[in-house]
Each structure stands twice: as C-alpha cells, then as structure tokens.
C-alpha cells in the first residue's frame, strides 16, 4: 500500500470514528505510526463489534491489514540503534487543545 493509500485509509477510519464514536484521531499519525494505528483500529474494532457496525469494522480491518502487510517479520528485521525524534517532531503532539 502506498503512502497516499495509507493516508486515505486512515482518513476514512478517522471520519467513521468521529461520526460513530465521537473519537478524534490523528490521520497522519495513523498513517505513519504502527503502534498508534493498531491501537486506534483495536478501539474501532471493539466499538464496531459492540454496535454491529460493518462500516467501522471494514475500515479498521483495512488499516490494520495494511500495517500487517507493511511491517516486516521478526526474522527480516536487523537490530538497529534507536533514533531519537527531533524536537520539532515531538513538540507537534505535545501542544494542548486551543480553548
């Protein structure tokens, strides 16, 4: 799945979660951060199962499958030194909501 397709899928899930759950998510983060994406898809999947919502289930499954296909298996991953995120990148998500 290309980056633009990943963003589009995350955007569809974001809209579905906003309308059906009242949950606000970060589309770009869902498209670039597998841990966040999988946490949001699990949350959406739980709600979809409880409410029998096929549309929400469809988009959560599609995004989690995209990440599963994109994430390499443990056998192909070489150990690397973890990199520190730039200060500008971390400040982006630290700022609170505007009042």
Three-state DSSP state, 64 = helix
List the chain domain ranges: 3-71
Question: Read out DSSP for 41-95?
Answer: HHHHHHHHHHHT-HHHHHHHHHHHHHHHHHSPPGGGPPP-PPPPPPHHHHHHHHS
| pTM score, whole prediction | 0.69
> Each residue of 25-62: pLDDT tens digit?
999 999 999 999 999 999 999 999 999 999 999 999 99
Q: Residue 96's pLDDT is what?
A: 52
Query: What pLDDT sits at residue 2?
Result: 87
Cβ–Cβ < 8 Å for 13, 59? yes
Mean pLDDT of the chain: 80
């Amino acid at each position: 799945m290309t980056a633009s397709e990943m963003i589009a899928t995350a955007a569809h899930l974001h809209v579905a979660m906003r309308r059906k759950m009242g949950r606000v998510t970060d589309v770009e983060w869902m498209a670039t951060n597998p841990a966040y994406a999988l946490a949001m898809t699990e949350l959406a999947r739980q709600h979809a199962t409880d409410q029998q919502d096929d549309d929400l289930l469809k988009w959560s499954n599609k995004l989690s499958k995209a990440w599963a296909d994109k994430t390499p298996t443990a056998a192909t991953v070489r150990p690397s030194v973890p990199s520190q995120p730039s200060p500008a990148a971390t400040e982006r998500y630290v700022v609170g909501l505007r009042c």
